[in-house]
Amino acid sequence: MEVETIIIKQLHKPDLLTALELLDRRMTLPYREKQHLSTLSKGFEGEILFDSLMESYLNSEQYLVLNDLSLVIGNTSIQIDSLIITSDTILLYEIKNYEGNYTDQASQFRTEYGQDIVSPADQLKRTTTVFKKLVNQWDSTFPIVSHVLFINNHFFLYEAKKDSPFLFLPQLNGHFTSINRKSFPLKARHHHLADRLLNECEKELPYQRKLPYYAFKDLKKGLCCSSCGSFDLKNSTKVSRCSSCGYTISLNAQILAEVRSFTFLFPKEQLTCNVMYEWCGGAFSKRRIRAALSTAYTVEGFAKSSHYVKKLEEGNDVSR
């Protein structure tokens, strides 16, 4: 019977990407941030695709997978898109969702429009070197094999060297088939290594530091569709329906979605009924907002100082 690969650290959308998406719906992003949003979004789409392909190919308990690792060794930080521990090897993957025609020119890639970018092979080499220093401190004897995976089927690289660390989407099935043939059941030392890596993993840096300036008064108010980002929503007595894409959710769920958006963008601001009434553009009565808030939040303070805080369930934050 086939069993799923054990994923120790799941892939999650970066906080910075979430924040930029929320802001993009309610303000005009500066050009630089708009470009960064596009890059982050495309990169995350590539990681999602790799995750799904990996799970379909590596269909046994002979692997441990850790996604989206942020590690700091000394004064150096590295980001690993995906790491797979097999019975005898540690595999590192740098995932690129490039599209179009590129030429490999040693330390850089050149696009078909003549733009030069740093070769991802250089970035991978640095990441691998720093990672080796970390695991060597733990007396790990696992060999480390690193790859840059170009996940987009519409990417083509001219003059790629045969000994380069590059993998292309059509090669992925054969790549994982080869790994499947060589791997055996894992032992305690493999799980111990995965646990140590998780313990070393840095939490994501506060995303607010990387965002453009924004203020509550300047952001567009109203209900925003969680599916397509449209503000063309119609409310009935029970549901909120997007006229653009047809996405439909209950009124309470729509209110709580708006609450999550507000608190994500303004984590230090107090959550009040009046603030959410304004944030939603007056689309709901304050009575309806209070009722929705009471399902996931607790009131603190009295009169004008009253505000809402997240309820805790079994010691964990259940707001997200």
Are 274 and 214 a contacting pair, CB within 8 Å? no
Q: Is 315 left (phi over 0), alpha (psi -120 to 50) or beta?
A: left
Boundary of a domain, candidates 207, 228, 246: 207
Q: How far is CA 268 from CA 304, 309, 312, in A?
A: 18, 12, 18
Q: Do 40 and 161 lie in a common domain?
A: yes
Q: Do 257 and 164 lie in a common domain?
A: no
Question: Is residue 183 a part of any domain in this protein?
Answer: yes
Question: Is residue 12 a part of any domain in this protein?
Answer: yes
Q: Do 114 and 241 lie in a common domain?
A: no
Q: Do 154 and 282 lie in a common domain?
A: no
The rounded distance, in Å, linking the Cα atoms of 172 and 54 is 9
Q: Do 176 and 226 lie in a common domain?
A: no
pLDDT in tens, the chain (320 residues): 344 457 778 889 999 999 999 999 999 999 999 999 999 999 999 999 999 999 888 866 789 999 999 888 877 888 999 999 999 999 999 999 999 999 998 789 999 999 999 999 999 999 999 999 999 999 999 999 999 999 999 999 999 888 899 999 999 999 999 998 888 889 999 999 999 999 888 766 677 888 999 999 999 999 999 999 999 999 999 999 999 999 999 999 999 999 999 999 999 999 999 999 999 999 999 999 999 999 999 999 887 888 999 987 543 333 33
Q: Do 219 and 99 lie in a common domain?
A: no
**Which range of residues forms the domain containing residue 240?**
215-317
Question: Is residue 254 a part of any domain in this protein?
Answer: yes
Question: Is residue 84 a part of any domain in this protein?
Answer: yes
Number of helices (H), then strands (E), in the chain: 8, 17
Question: Is residue 175 a part of any domain in this protein?
Answer: yes
Question: Is residue 60 a part of any domain in this protein?
Answer: yes
Q: Do 46 and 147 lie in a common domain?
A: yes
Q: Do 196 and 110 lie in a common domain?
A: yes
CA-angle at 300, arms to 296 and 302, nearest 5°: 135
Q: Do 175 and 50 lie in a common domain?
A: yes
Q: Closest Cα to residue 150, out of 110, 113, 119, 178?
A: 119
Boundary of a domain, candidates 186, 207, 228: 207
Q: Do 248 and 101 lie in a common domain?
A: no
Q: Do 138 and 158 lie in a common domain?
A: yes
Question: Is residue 1 a part of any domain in this protein?
Answer: no
Q: Do 179 and 226 lie in a common domain?
A: no
Question: Is residue 18 a part of any domain in this protein?
Answer: yes
* pTM over 0.85, yes/no: no
Phi, psi of 35 (to 5 degrees): -65, -40
Number of domains in the chain: 2
Boundary of a domain, candidates 190, 207, 224: 207
